[in-house]
Amino acid sequence: MNENSFKEQINALKEGEISEFTVEPQDFTAFREVWKNLPDRMSFVGEAGLNGRIIYRYMKEEE
C-alpha cells in the first residue's frame, strides 16, 4: 500500500466508516510515515496479529 491509501483508511477509521484496518508487515514503514504526523496518533490503537499483521482501531480521546 502507499501513503495515500493509508491516509484514506485513517480518515475512514476516524469518521467511523470502517471499524478497523490491517497493516501487513511489508507496509508498516509506509503506514508509520503517515501515522507519526497525525495530531491524534495516540488515538489509533494497534493490536498485534499473526505473522506480523497489526489491526488498528480508533479510540477517541476523552476531553
Domain boundaries, the chain: 3-58
Looking at residues 34-63, what average pLDDT do you find?
91
Q: Are strands 54-58 and 44-48 parallel, antiparallel or unpaired?
A: antiparallel
Bridge partners of 56, per DSSP, are: 21, 46
- What's the distance, CA 59 to chain centroid? 11
What tens digit of pLDDT does each residue of 2-43 get? 778 999 999 999 999 999 999 999 999 999 999 999 999 999
Residue bearing cell 499473526: 50
Query: Please, which pLDDT band fits residue 57 given cuts at 50, 70 and 90?
Result: very high
More confident residue, 15 or 1: 15
